[in-house]
Amino acid sequence: MGRLPDDLLGRAGYYQADASCVLVEGTWEAALASANTALDAMDRVLSGTNAVYALCRPPGHHACRDQAGGFCYLNNTAVAANWASSRGARVAIVDVDVHHGNGTQAIFYGRRDVLTVSVHGDPAWLYPYYAGYADETGAGIGEGFNSNLPVPLMSDGEAYLAALSAGCAAVRQFSPDLLIIALGLDASRDDPFACMAIDESGFGRMGRMLGMLSLPTLIVQEGGYPSPTLGQSLAAFLNGFGSR
């Protein structure tokens, strides 16, 4: 599977992780602005703001160092984490998007200064399919600093929160200086792709659980497809986080 096709969509996919990242006029400007939004938010956290929410669009957690993928072009979460790490901070990333953040994992897989934790739908049945399994724990000096907590599809909030509780325990053991939450809202029961069954109360409890880590925190928006309750899910998460 090493041939470069003539078709434009096929050629784009050849240089990406998949063929789902459409490139049009303005794509680069939008992706750059999204990454800069995450960087600006991280600067605020590093300057002493306790918590900042970065409304990044397009999202980023499927993007690798050298490949776009899954509607992600630049990995906003990883850019912010790397910036903080380069300034001496010990960083933990917790990704709660229903799809595994394969790009974020790939970027930090061989490092120990950034802990990556992901709670997501079982990749045996869900995109990105080829990464996100529980036995992927890091490589080299990064061994043990990557934690995947896959959840069966159509699980409710109790199952998702149980996995997140284990992820929070890993963060406490790592003892980071700051936390980045890669916030996906597509685990909602109302999401059009219907992968999970989390209601607004579940998102509120998720936010509170992460808030109880009591760390300076950057929240980066990842997935979340249009649904009647998308805004309510976000509000529930943020209110839960703020009630810590």
Two structure tokens written together for 118: 């992901």
CB 212 within 8 Å of CB 244: yes
The DSSP output letter for 48 is T
Eight-state DSSP code of residue 156: B
List residues with catalytic annotation. 62
Q: Angle at which helices 200-211 and 157-174 pack, to 10 degrees?
A: 10
Any idea how long the chain is? 244
DSSP code of 198?
A: B
Q: How far apart are CA 65 and CA 129, in angstroms?
A: 19
Shortest CA distance to 99 belongs to which of 81, 125, 78? 125
Q: Among residues 210, 107, 106, which one has the least CA distance to residue 167? A: 210
Largest CA distance in the chain: 54
Q: Is the dihedral of CA 231, 233, 234, 240 positive or negative?
A: positive
